[in-house]
Structure 1
Amino acid sequence: MVKLVYHIVQHDGGWAYKVGDAFSESYPTHDAAAAAARSAAAKQQQADETEVIEYQDSEGKWRVETARGDDRPETSVVD
């Protein structure tokens, strides 16, 4: 099983969460970024429908993949 770790970090004049090399949007406070990370981590574990997803990779390229709805990662938040 894949494990994703959400790290709370200073970013772009505020706070964000980071998973691997990808940053979230910036939040004005540490607490707001931490709450967003906890919410994203919880949603990441929920089973859903299989669907096509689009995302930007660490090199700035947009990728399109099929995400199986029953293949969910284990997540945690490191503050």
Structure 2
Amino acid sequence: MADVHYQIVEHDGGWAYKVGDVFSEAFPTHDQARDAAERAAAEQKVPGATEPIEYQDPAGAWHEEVAQGDDRPGTDVKG
């Protein structure tokens, strides 16, 4: 199972959380950005429905598989 890491960083004149190379919207304060990151991290853990998915890999091949609704990533917030 994957882990998703939320990092609180200065961004666009305020504060944001970052996952990989993707930034959230900017927040006026560090605490507001951390609260938003904590909410987003919690939402990642909410189970969904088990259902079929289809996706294309970087080489252009299509794949079908069943995504387990309870297969949720681990999350953490730093900063």
| Common topology (TM > 0.5) | yes
CA distance in 1, matches of 2:40, 2:22: 13
Residue deviations 1:9-57 (CA, integer Å, cap 9, x gap): 0000100000000100110100000000000000111102368xxxxxx
Aligned twin of 2:4: 4
1:70, distance to aligned residue in structure 2 (A): 2.7
CA RMSD of aligned residues (A): 2.0
Letter in 2 for 1:16: A
Structure 2: unaligned runs, 5 residues or longer: 52-66
Q: What percentage of residue pairs aligned between the two structures are identical? A: 60
1:72, distance to aligned residue in structure 2 (A): 1.2
CA distance in 2, matches of 1:48, 1:78: 26
CA distance in 1, matches of 2:43, 2:31: 18
Higher gyration radius (CA):
2
CA distance in 2, matches of 1:22, 1:70: 25
Aligned twin of 2:42: 42
Aligned twin of 1:71: 71
Letter in 2 for 1:76: D
The number of equivalent residue pairs is 65
CA distance in 1, matches of 2:35, 2:3: 19
What is the TM-score normalised by the length of structure 2? 0.73
Describe the shift of the 1:50–1:17 C-alpha distance in structure 2 as closer, same or farther (beyond 3 A). Answer: farther
The list of structure 1 runs, each at least 4 consecutive aligned residues, that deviate by more than 2 angstroms after superposition, is: 68-71
Structure 1: unaligned runs, 5 residues or longer: 52-67
